[in-house]
Amino acid sequence: MSNTIDKRLVKAIVTEVADKQRYVVSFTAVLNRLKGMAETDGEAYELGLELYRLLNDGAIKYAYLIGRKQTRVVVSPTELTSEQLFVLREIGKLYTSWCIECSNVDAVIDGLVSIYTRRENLVPTPALAVYLLAKNHGLKIEPMYFNKEQTYGYGSKYLKPVGAFKIEGNIEIMHWASNDLDAIEVWDFTR
């Protein structure tokens, strides 16, 4: 199914998530990204309708639509269960049209996605969600040069870079890992 999805739809989502570095972003902001990718306002409108339909139908793996009026897009590095989506959608009902406390609701949803997707040796991040979303939907991912001597402090561990990737020519992601017995992995944006 992913080969029938216009890549611009996925690119708009991953670009907005990379810019905000959160699991949850405004659907309107994603639509604004789409508008910049379309040649006409009519095409942008059609792309927006298609994005809404695909998100509502669950056709874009790792991306979900939530909110009282479906005003937010949530991405996840794993597929969420129906129970997890139910909880996120219930919390999403706290979004209102004037949404004074939207950042607080966003923070709760970000935290829940992080908890839902945590695995034994993998620290979930929006960067990993962006990488998997891009990879699953055929966006251009190129390896990048990286300094193998760099370190990334995570708690009491120091991680070394495993790989670096550029998605669609502008989103840079670094994959870090430790080589301890209790090794962990982290994916992060490079900026």
- Specify the DSSP element, H or E, that contains 127: helix 126-136
Q: Which pLDDT score, from 0 to 100, does residue 62 have?
A: 94
User: pLDDT value at position 104?
Assistant: 86
pLDDT score of 98 more than 70:
no
Report how far residue 37's alpha carbon sits from residue 149's, in angstroms, rounded to the nearest whole number: 38
Would you place residue 181 in the very low, low, confident or very high pLDDT band (cuts 50, 70, 90)? low
What's the confidence (pLDDT) of residue 183? 76
- Encode pLDDT of 47-87 as tens digits: 999 999 999 999 999 999 998 777 899 999 999 999 999 99
